[in-house]
Amino acid sequence: MDPADRARVEAWLRYGDDLGLGPYYRSRATQGTAAEPELGAQFGSAPRAMAAATPARASAPALGLAPKTSVSGSQPAGGAAQKSAQAAASVLPVIAGPSLFEAADRIENDTLEHIRADIGDCTRCKLHKGRTNIVFGVGSMKAELVFVGEGPGHDEDLKGEPFVGRAGKLLTQMIEAMGLRRQDVYICNVVKCRPPENRLPEKDEITTCSPFLYRQIDVIRPKVICCLGSCASQTLLQTTQGISRFRGEWFDFRGSKLIATYHPAYLLRNPNAKGEVWKDLQKVMSVLGLQPKRK
Ligand code: URA
């Protein structure tokens, strides 16, 4: 096999292992058949397979949201070359068996601690170079409501906690207006490391990091996921449509109800949009049976 292809396959396998998909690859290996396409051809679809492994399954198409047809692959770096190469040769060409999508749907007995441990001292994407702290997520693992933001900013990077800066204070106010406390919900981001100069996370960074978000959501199994802003909603709904097209609508996301609303940072710049966001939050409250906080 071409050494460059081999290195890419190995990187994908390591990445799969990091995501807890190692057992899946191994179990598929036992169902193998001989008549398989070349590994190179199979590898061409590896990024797609990982997109499937990132279990973003929402009812977006039914609601007219165009799902992404391709996801750029990330190229994780580092070790275990020989073992992975053997696994690649025996595992990747297999066609029979359950789809990667189904098999990777949920990782049995996963926990937030496992996910954090799997992230480790992550160097999978370039964002690691500028970070101070990985910002994993905070709140209750039994939360009925999960807020998903974009990525840590300056304050979050320093503290290692999401939404602690100006936008975070506004989010806390929003949560309290709903009759909840910050510790009653779970708060996390699409990417766990701060993008430089608070730029938007790039596609490869999102592709690399979002599987950990999916696992967090799978562990918590909230009743409602509230996506804050375009990045979170486009990532989870697998769409490129602008948030204003679908904000305030309900979607299904792996057994949770998902709603998108504007990001608190947007509200800081556009306070007139607060009314729209409050309407969205009231929809969430009605699903969760919450009463607004009394003054
Ligand atoms: N904006 C985000 O999207 N996430 C944070 O954690 C902070 C600001």
129 Cα to the center of ligand 1, angstroms:
18
How high is the pLDDT of residue 292? Answer: 84
CA–CA distance, 69 with 25 (Å, rounded to integer): 24
CA–CA distance, 165 with 156 (Å, rounded to integer): 7
Q: Is the pLDDT of residue 274 over 50?
A: yes
Q: What is the mean pLDDT of residues 274-278?
A: 98
Q: What is the mean pLDDT of residues 204-226?
A: 98
Question: What are residue 258's phi and psi, to 5 degrees?
Answer: -120, 135
CB neighbour class for 239 (10 Å; exposed up to 12, middle 13-18, buried from 19): buried
Q: Is 195 touching ligand 1 by the criterion CB < 6 Å?
A: no
In the sheet that holds 186-189, the strands lie side by side as 138-139, 186-189, 145-149, 224-228, 256-261, 250-253
Q: Is the pLDDT of residue 181 over 50?
A: yes
Closest CA to 281 of 255, 260, 251: 260
From 163, 216, 233, mutation site for ligand 1 pocket: most ligand atoms within 8 A of C-beta:
163
Taken in order 293, 220, 130, 125, the sign of the CA dihedral is negative
How high is the pLDDT of residue 5? Answer: 74
Q: Is the pLDDT of residue 267 over 80?
A: yes
pLDDT tens profile 30-70 = 333 333 322 223 222 322 222 333 333 444 433 334 333 22
pLDDT tens profile 115-156 = 999 999 999 999 999 999 999 999 999 999 999 999 999 999
Question: Who wins on pLDDT, 7 or 219?
Answer: 219
153 Cα to the center of ligand 1, angstroms:
6
Q: Which two tokens stand for residue 39?
A: 């590994």
User: 71 pLDDT band (50/70/90 cuts)?
Assistant: very low
226 Cα to the center of ligand 1, angstroms:
13
Domains of the chain: 3-103 (no CATH), 112-288 (3.40.470.10)
From 138, 146, 150, 194, mutation site for ligand 1 pocket: most ligand atoms within 8 A of C-beta:
150
How high is the pLDDT of residue 93? Answer: 34
Q: Is the pLDDT of residue 256 over 80?
A: yes
Question: Who wins on pLDDT, 171 or 23?
Answer: 171
Q: Is 168 touching ligand 1 by the criterion CB < 6 Å?
A: yes
Q: Is the pLDDT of residue 109 over 90?
A: yes
User: 294 pLDDT band (50/70/90 cuts)?
Assistant: confident
